Amino acid sequence: MGCVAQVTPFLNAATNIQSWEVDIQHPEKVLTVKGDIDKKQLIQLIEKAGFKAREN
């Protein structure tokens, strides 16, 4: 669950994200986000945290 801890500060700091959750049971660790953020911005946030992300 270290990956969730690493992305938490980045996602919590984004003022245009209302809520988010990660399905850690899914092999690909699916992130669900509610808010007014476009997919490119979200992918950039995840990559800043040191992870790869792709649009689903």
Write down the domain spans for the chain: 16-56
Task: Report pLDDT digits (tens) over 6-53.
Answer: 999 999 999 999 999 999 999 988 999 999 999 999 999 999 999 999
- Exposed (0-12), middle (13-18) or buried (19+): which is 27, by Cβ within 10 Å? exposed
Between CA 37 and CA 25 the distance in angstroms is 25
| Whole-number pLDDT of residue 20 | 97
**pLDDT value of position 1:** 53
**Does the predicted TM-score (pTM) go above 0.85?**
no
pLDDT of residue 54: 86
- Per-residue exposure over 15-25, b if at least 16 CB sit within 10 Å of its own CB, e if not: eebeebebeee
